[in-house]
């Protein structure tokens, strides 16, 4: 069943710059859906539009979450539905400690699984326990990403939206973060994942799209996307050998989309 259905949305900045030109996605409950694409494609704009962070947008189209129309809702109302957005800059309170940042993830929760969930976060990222009294800004980039994902987990999201979680991480730490996402997915959260690292994202995702210049140029299962010749060449770097810079530009011109 579809948890999130985005239909034909158009998002503009300053009422004149089109960032999304009719984007549709359908994210099924319990799955990981990935949005891939180059710089400036509109990936972040898509997440922000869903999260209610761009005022009066989308201009056109609809966003349906769990059977309810939520386009142009305020960020607070969207968040109250259990939609958690982890921005690319991780959104941490840099001067607060690790423990305090995690506490913020628990804000508003009154159930009796809090201790268990905290334990699950520490099990997933043991370094957070070791550093719990340290200021968030003193953590490494990878540790900060773990903290922001751990904090998001404590909100028990129905939909977790992440913007480039592997950004700036070593391959080893990125793999660890992605293992965590797979675990979070298995515990029942649906995940909408924006990535530049197609290889990593396609490894965990079930379905996805490629976004270019505000349009969906390819959609399918992760397997279909990973096997597409253009994707292999442009995003996975496993296309025909010896493609020079010029060859690459030529190739761009004759690809299917
Ligand atoms: N606050 C803003 N005001 C005006 N234009 C913006 C704003 N934010 C983004 N844009 C423009 O909208 C387009 C899409 O940007 P967006 O940040 O969504 O791309 P992205 O796919 O996330 O790129 P990246 O991979 O570099 O993060 C770009 O052309 C960008 O210049
Ligand atoms: Mg972005």
Structure tokens at 146: 């773990």
| CA separation, residue 251 to residues 28, 94, 229, 255 (Å) | 34, 44, 11, 6
Contact 100, 111 (CB under 8 A): no
Q: How far is CA 165 from the centre of its chain?
A: 7
CA distance 40 to 46: 11
What tokens were used for 161? Answer: 């939206």
pTM: 0.91
pLDDT tens digits, residue range 111-166? 899 999 999 999 999 999 999 999 999 999 999 999 999 999 999 999 999 999 99
Q: Ligand 1, atom 24: nearest CA belongs to which residue?
A: 39
**Residue 257: per-residue pLDDT:** 63
248 pLDDT above the threshold of 50: no
Q: Is 110 exposed, middle or buried (0-12, 13-18, 19+ CB in 10 A)?
A: exposed
Residues 238-255, mean pLDDT to the nearest whole number: 51
In 3-state terms, what secondary structure has residue 154? Answer: helix
pLDDT digits (tens, 9 = 90+) for 226-246: 999 888 888 887 765 544 444
**Closest ligand to residue 48's CA:** 1
Q: Which CATH class is domain 1-82+157-226?
A: alpha beta
In whole angstroms, give the CA distance from residue 64 to residue 118.
31
Whether the pLDDT of residue 191 is over 50: the answer is yes
Express each pLDDT in 24-42 by its tens digit: 999 999 999 999 999 999 9
38 alpha carbon, closest ligand: 1
Ligand 1 centroid vs 20 CA: distance in angstroms? Answer: 10
Distance from Cα 40 to the centre of ligand 2, integer Å: 7
How far apart (Å, rounded) are the C-alpha atoms in residues 189 and 181? 9
Q: Label residue 255 by pLDDT band (50, 70, 90).
A: low
Task: Dig out the tokens for 175 from the structure.
Answer: 């793999």
Q: What integer pLDDT is reported at residue 246 of this predicted model?
A: 45
Question: What are residue 97's phi and psi, to 5 degrees?
Answer: -75, 170
The residue ranges of every structural domain in the chain are 1-82+157-226, 96-155
Q: What burial class does residue 245 get, using C-beta atoms within 10 Å of its C-beta: 0-12 exposed, 13-18 middle, 19+ buried?
A: exposed
Looking at every residue in the chain, the average pLDDT score rounds to: 91
Please list the residues that pair with 147 across neighbouring strands: none
Which residue owns the Cα nearest ligand 1 atom 27?
Answer: 39
Which residue has a Cα nearest atom 9 of ligand 1?
A: 45
The whole-number pLDDT of residue 249 equals 47
Rounded to the nearest 10°, the torsion over CA 132, 192, 76, 12 is 130
Percent of the chain with pLDDT over 90: 80
Helix (H) or strand (E) holding 219: strand 215-221
């Amino acid at each position: 069943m579809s948890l999130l259905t985005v239909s034909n949305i158009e998002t503009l900045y300053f009422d004149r710059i089109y960032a999304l030109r009719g984007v549709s996605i359908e994210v099924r409950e319990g799955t990981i859906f990935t949005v891939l694409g180059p710089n400036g494609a509109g990936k972040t704009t898509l997440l922000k539009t869903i999260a209610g962070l761009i005022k009066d947008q989308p201009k056109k189209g609809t966003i349906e979450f769990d059977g309810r129309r939520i386009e142009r809702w305020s960020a607070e109302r969207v968040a109250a539905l259990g939609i958690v957005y982890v921005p690319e800059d991780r959104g941490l309170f840099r001067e607060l400690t690790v423990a305090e940042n995690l506490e913020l993830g628990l804000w508003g929760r009154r159930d009796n699984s809090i201790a268990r969930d905290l334990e699950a976060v520490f099990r997933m990222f043991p370094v957070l326990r070791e550093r719990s009294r340290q200021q968030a800004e003193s953590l490494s980039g990878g540790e900060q990403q773990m903290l922001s994902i751990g904090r998001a987990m404590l909100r028990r999201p129905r939909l977790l939206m992440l913007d480039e979680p592997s950004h700036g991480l070593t391959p080893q730490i990125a793999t660890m973060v992605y293992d965590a996402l797979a675990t979070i997915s298995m515990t029942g959260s649906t995940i909408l994942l924006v990535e530049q690292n197609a290889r990593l994202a396609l490894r965990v995702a079930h379905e996805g799209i490629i976004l270019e210049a505000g349009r969906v140029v390819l959609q399918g299962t992760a397997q279909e996307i990973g096997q597409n010749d253009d994707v292999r060449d442009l995003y996975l770097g496993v296309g025909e050998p010896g493609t020079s810079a010029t060859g690459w530009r030529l190739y761009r011109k004759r690809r299917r989309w």
